């Protein structure tokens, strides 16, 4: 699905995190393929070892696939890392960069996230750039400052290529906790992100802004109805075919 000059593509992207096994993955994808297609562009970002299986299962269909991270390096002595070129060989369309679990657990800086996004674009992948604040930062009134800083590094590094990314706002305090930002809270941050992108490019209206943080079938419709929320980055619910399919329908 292509966006018009001023309309972002509606997207729902599943993030399996470190979950799944070959049998369960096969069953999940089979159910998803039967549940679709949807108007929104749908994808799943899966653990590295399963990319080959997922590519074989989904090739030729309407569901895209991607990875959960990539290296900022092209190649070389970086044991344990996976390059964007390798992901491209497996037909990935997307790659997550800067997920809060990577920023917190692996100490990823804003600039490293930006460098990963740049490397992904160089190999034809769409980076899904994740930004978001912790509960402490929200309570301190720092939400806008934090997400602006995180996105600024990407804007400055990518320059004129910034319209090629997807941005996902994921309040850290709402990831896997069962807590969800209200539609109004989420929209307020998305609106500020859109304004920041408008200041960087005249194509900002085409950039998909996704919400991530305990999105479920019972709150997806209201979240996705907000003017600057163009879909979702879905964690736990993406592992349940019926729930993920319902969320995809909510974005249509």
Known catalytic residues are 99, 170
CA angle 93-30-235, nearest 5°? 55
Instruction: Of 157, 51, 154, 31, give the one whose Cα is nearest residue 94.
Output: 51
Cβ atoms of residues 211 and 10 within 8 Å: no
Instruction: Of 209, 215, 206, 250, give the one whose Cα is nearest residue 234.
Output: 215
How far, in Å, CA of 90 to CA of 1, rounded? 21
């Amino acid at each position: 699905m292509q966006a018009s000059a001023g309309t972002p593509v509606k997207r729902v992207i599943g993030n399996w995190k470190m979950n799944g096994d070959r049998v369960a993955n096969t069953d999940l994808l089979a159910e998803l393929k039967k549940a679709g297609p949807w108007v929104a562009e749908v994808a799943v970002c899966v653990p590295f070892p399963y990319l080959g299986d997922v590519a074989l299962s989904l090739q030729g269909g309407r569901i895209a696939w991607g990875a959960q991270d990539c290296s900022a390096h092209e190649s070389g002595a970086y044991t344990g890392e996976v390059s964007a070129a390798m992901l491209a060989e497996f037909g990935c369309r997307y790659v997550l960069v800067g997920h809060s679990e990577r920023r917190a657990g692996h100490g990823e800086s804003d600039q490293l996230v930006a460098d990963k996004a740049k490397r992904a674009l160089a190999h034809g992948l769409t980076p899904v750039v994740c930004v978001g604040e912790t509960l402490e930062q929200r309570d301190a009134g720092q939400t806008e400052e934090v997400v602006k800083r995180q996105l600024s590094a990407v804007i400055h590094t990518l320059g004129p290529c910034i319209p090629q990314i997807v941005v996902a706002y994921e309040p850290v305090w709402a990831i896997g906790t069962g807590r969800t930002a209200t539609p109004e809270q989420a929209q307020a941050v998305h609106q500020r992100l859109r304004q920041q992108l408008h200041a960087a490019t005249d194509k900002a209206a085409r950039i998909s802004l996704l919400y991530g943080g305990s999105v479920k079938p019972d709150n997806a419709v209201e979240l996705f109805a907000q003017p600057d929320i163009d879909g979702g980055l879905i964690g736990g619910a993406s592992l349940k075919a019926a729930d993920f399919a319902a969320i995809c329908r909510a974005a249509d």
